Amino acid sequence: MPNPKRRHSKARTSTRRAHDHLTAPGLSNCPNCHEPKLPHRVCPHCGHYKGKQVVDSKEA
Amino acid sequence: MRHRAAHRKLGRTSSHRLALLRNLATALFDKERIRTTLPKAKELRPWAEKLITLAKREDGRVHARRLVSRDVQDAAVAKKLFDTLAPRFASRPGGYTRILKLGARKGDGAEMAIIELIGSEFQPGKKEAAKKEAEKPAKEEAKAADKPAKADKPKAEKKAKADKPAKAEAKPKAEKKPATRKKKADAAE
């Protein structure tokens, strides 16, 4: 079986992992209720979209 | 490569997929506003709009009806498509539906959406008014049954007397308003 010839240093490991991270969702604030919401989606809090109530706030 | 692959398979065989689209389209024409996953809504949109365009055809109505009834197999819904929806969209050159994104569903994280016919948008209070109307007669009967029972106690009697005229005045007004609103909403549709 093939095996590593050399030990992997801590620096190598952490360099590889430098770009491993989660990205935060691009939330914006609902213009109606000011709760955070995803862009291009109906506000899950108040059911408004593009200045109108488009779904029942309970069902959203 | 996904060159020239225009449609989603939706994890179904072609016959299953066709049946799904037919069911979704029938539900959309029936309810005018349905909630489904975003990929299904996006697949349904062009498919359902082609049926509406077909229903708008003026020449050869019988032929168009037969073509539509292949896909909309509920006769009542097919009739509605020709008699109410086609005239409604007569002056609109396509684009009969709207998709609203709702965000991820709990459970499997699927992106949900509402697909609605233009002109069948959500009206705040419409559902509630309908519910109130359905509930009110039942509530009044229940109250009427309660009152004689309470009248045995002197305190309850006083309260009932004080409450009765006020409630009696308030109720007819409250009943009338949702009813007129609903009529307006129906007329607008």
Separation CA B100–CA A47 (nearest Å): 11
Higher pLDDT, B139 or B71: B71
Q: Which two tokens stand for residue B92?
A: 């609109």
- All residues of chain A having their beta carbon less than 8 Å from the beta carbon of residue B122 are 47, 53-56
Residue B13 reports pLDDT greater than 60: yes
**CA A32 → CA A28, B84, B124, distances in Å?**
12, 35, 15
Residue B47 reports pLDDT greater than 80: yes
Whether the Cβ atoms of residue B82 and residue B66 lie closer than 8 Å to each other? no
Whether the Cβ atoms of residue B101 and residue B113 lie closer than 8 Å to each other? yes
Q: B101–A60: do the CB atoms touch at under 8 Å? A: no
- All residues of chain A having their beta carbon less than 8 Å from the beta carbon of residue B103 are 38, 41-42, 44
Residue B170's pLDDT band (cuts 50, 70, 90) = very low
Residue B95 reports pLDDT greater than 70: yes
Chain B positions touching chain A (beta carbons under 8 Å)? 100-103, 114, 121-122, 124, 127
- All residues of chain B having their beta carbon less than 8 Å from the beta carbon of residue A55 are 100, 102, 114, 122
Kindly state the percentage of chain B with pLDDT values over 90. 58
Reported as a single tens digit per residue, the pLDDT across B74-88 is 999 999 999 999 999
Q: B102–A53: do the CB atoms touch at under 8 Å? A: no
Residue in chain A closest to B125 (alpha carbons) equals A56
Q: B122–A49: do the CB atoms touch at under 8 Å? A: no
Whether the Cβ atoms of residue B64 and residue B51 lie closer than 8 Å to each other? no
Residue B187 reports pLDDT greater than 80: no
- All residues of chain B having their beta carbon less than 8 Å from the beta carbon of residue A41 are 101-103
Reported as a single tens digit per residue, the pLDDT across A24-59 is 999 999 998 899 999 999 999 888 898 888 777 655
Domains, in order of start, for chain B: 14-122 (3.90.1030.10), 125-188 (no CATH)
Lowest mean pLDDT among B22-26, B118-122, B136-140, B156-160: B156-160
Average pLDDT over residues B10-33: 96
Q: Which residues contact B72 (CB under 8 A, 6 or more apart)?
A: B22, B25, B26, B29, B51, B78, B81
Per DSSP, helices labelled H in B4-125 are 14-31, 38-56, 61-71, 75-80, 86-88
Question: What is the CB-side half-sphere exposure of residue A11 using CA atoms within 13 A?
Answer: 0
